[in-house]
Structure 1
């Protein structure tokens, strides 16, 4: 691995914000990447702050400065649940000598919000500390935005011309309504019609406890994303005159039943092959459970081990979890309503309607109103093409100096990729970074990126694109 000691020695300041001192001994490309990374972390591109357009303006300035023509940069405006956002599409013109269709590369510019009072460090400032970068989006997905942007800038400076067109497609509300995502996917289908789509927003290297690479994970399928609001209403009254029926208590009882329920265990060829391969690299009880489940998906002990681990529970079937709660209207009044938001990640083939039916049955309360608040997309599985696999293997060998297993898997979360799969395009996610399971804090507090993984990932897309679109 790249020595972190040299990088740490180059940081001339404490405490360790990238702005507190200057960074020396970085290559020009590393410095540019770090500058972009630091700046875009500073945009609070979360719902309610309307900063995606400012980030788009920032990125387009970089691209134009490096010679991308106005006609090859498209900024699109969208309304996402009453808030303005934007999408960005950038065309890297090829010479067309290959006669092959374009390649589309995905990332999203928005983030899940982070409350500064909850974090140990300022979430919208890039902080360097203990071999890590900290900040909202350092993993999900501003590393991907930076990584693809600096790749286009670098290739342009090198004077490289691809043998087919390449497109960056950055969405503005992937974490919420996906309005920009859906519109961009449709535009791509109608105007670009790529040969395939590569996504920066998932996949990546699985690192061991000592940061050595275990396997390259390739997202080839996604669970269906669906969210319901569960609401119960009540006449209410004065808090000094309690009633036997109480909206908050009734809703809490229903949520407890959902909490206790485990959806049926499911297994497909993709999930079983994923566990079989990854289980060979994961030590201890977890690795043994992966291999056992791959051979016998009904093994009770293996299922219990995998369901107890946040990294693997979502691969075994549908999961539903309460994520938001509101109720009551005054401290001295009985609640007239209580609402919980329940987010489900639905195993392929089960469907949102069947999942809602299960939730209704679980709550056991006909008075609870169910409202589906997401536009549900159910997407097919994609294939990892031979040319993409070969290019990925070359990137890994060049960056790590060793052969690393490449393992397709099903994503428990959701990404822009689902909408391109639904339109018929093979879409795989092969993010350039890596992380250990214990370092995954996307959507949570103190999101982090291991600095070596950051530096190592900067060559990822350069190698990939030269292999897939070079002479």
Structure 2
């Protein structure tokens, strides 16, 4: 169990490299015109300020998850009795791949980091790469933007990486360059933290906005 635990500890100590071109770059480019001059200068020159941007984003869990393939140990198993040495031990580590990283590349890096011939590494299930990054220079994104602005005029519309798994991945093969994940809700931090948790809820006014959004989207797509 100690050997497996050490392998997991090494994986957590060496996160995958941070990259802006996994989706964050597009977000910053869209936000640049709306931010103060100092930030606009930084966002518009990512080739120069890339390390600074990555350091700033990596300081928060959500920002860090948008920059790299994430490493999250979720299950560890070993012995059954406190006075009997286990005959074996296993650990399950979940990797949420950043667009551009492959399953094979992740496995190779994991083996290099663990660097222990007595620890076997194998994929649980099929393994799945991230969905392709959808474009923003097409009619579909323009329609989505127009609809969002009509219901939420105060919002800045920009592409972003959805770090969670959604049903949209099932449609990636049908629309590889135009599959968008969007939730028409205005949420504060408390509402965000309640997702998939105790007392997860939706305010009645937000429910009405969801209906307004989808009604407007259907009309704009006709």
The TM-score normalised by the length of structure 1 is 0.41
Report the RMSD for the aligned CA atoms in angstroms.
Answer: 3.2
Distance, in Å, in 1 between the alignment partners of 2:43 and 2:137 is 28
- Contact kept, 8 Å, 1:271 with 1:315, in 2: the verdict is yes
Query: Where does the alignment leave 5 or more consecutive residues of structure 1 unmatched?
Result: 1-247
Q: How does 1:34-183 map to 2 (within 5 A)?
A: none
Q: How does 1:230-309 map to 2 (within 5 A)?
A: 248-268=1-21, 270-278=23-31, 288=39, 291-292=42-43, 295-296=46-47, 299-309=50-60
Describe the SS at the equivalent of 1:369. Answer: coil
The alpha-carbon deviation at position 404 of structure 1 amounts to: 3.1
- Contact kept, 8 Å, 1:263 with 1:319, in 2: the verdict is yes
Which of residues 141, 144, 150 is equivalent to 1:392?
Answer: 144
Describe the SS at the equivalent of 1:321. Answer: strand
Q: Deviations over 1:398-419 (max 9, x none)?
A: 433x253221122223222223
Describe the SS at the equivalent of 2:170. Answer: helix
Describe the SS at the equivalent of 1:407. Answer: coil
The answer to whether the aligner puts 1:458 opposite 2:211 as a matched pair is yes
Q: Deviations over 1:57-92 (max 9, x none)?
A: xxxxxxxxxxxxxxxxxxxxxxxxxxxxxxxxxxxx
Distance, in Å, in 1 between the alignment partners of 2:21 and 2:8 is 29
Distance, in Å, in 1 between the alignment partners of 2:14 and 2:199 is 30
The alpha-carbon deviation at position 274 of structure 1 amounts to: 0.4
- Contact kept, 8 Å, 2:16 with 2:68, in 1: the verdict is yes
The structure number with the bigger radius of gyration is: 1
Which of residues 89, 94, 107 is equivalent to 1:356?
Answer: 107
Which of residues 331, 345, 354 is equivalent to 2:82?
Answer: 331
Distance, in Å, in 2 between the alignment partners of 1:459 and 1:383 is 25
Q: Which one has a larger percent helix, Structure 1 or Structure 2?
A: 2
> 1:269 and 1:368, CA in 2 relative to 1: closer, same or farther beyond 3 A?
closer
Question: Which residue of the partner structure matches residue 182 of structure 2?
Answer: 430
Distance, in Å, in 1 between the alignment partners of 2:21 and 2:9 is 30
Describe the SS at the equivalent of 1:342. Answer: strand
Distance, in Å, in 2 between the alignment partners of 1:372 and 1:299 is 33
Q: Deviations over 1:228-250 (max 9, x none)?
A: xxxxxxxxxxxxxxxxxxxx211
Question: Which residue of the partner structure matches residue 220 of structure 2?
Answer: 467
Q: Which one has a larger percent strand, Structure 1 or Structure 2?
A: 1
Count of aligned pairs? 218
Query: Where does the alignment leave 5 or more consecutive residues of structure 2 unmatched?
Result: none
Question: Which residue of the partner structure matches residue 200 of structure 1?
Answer: none
The TM-score normalised by the length of structure 2 is 0.80
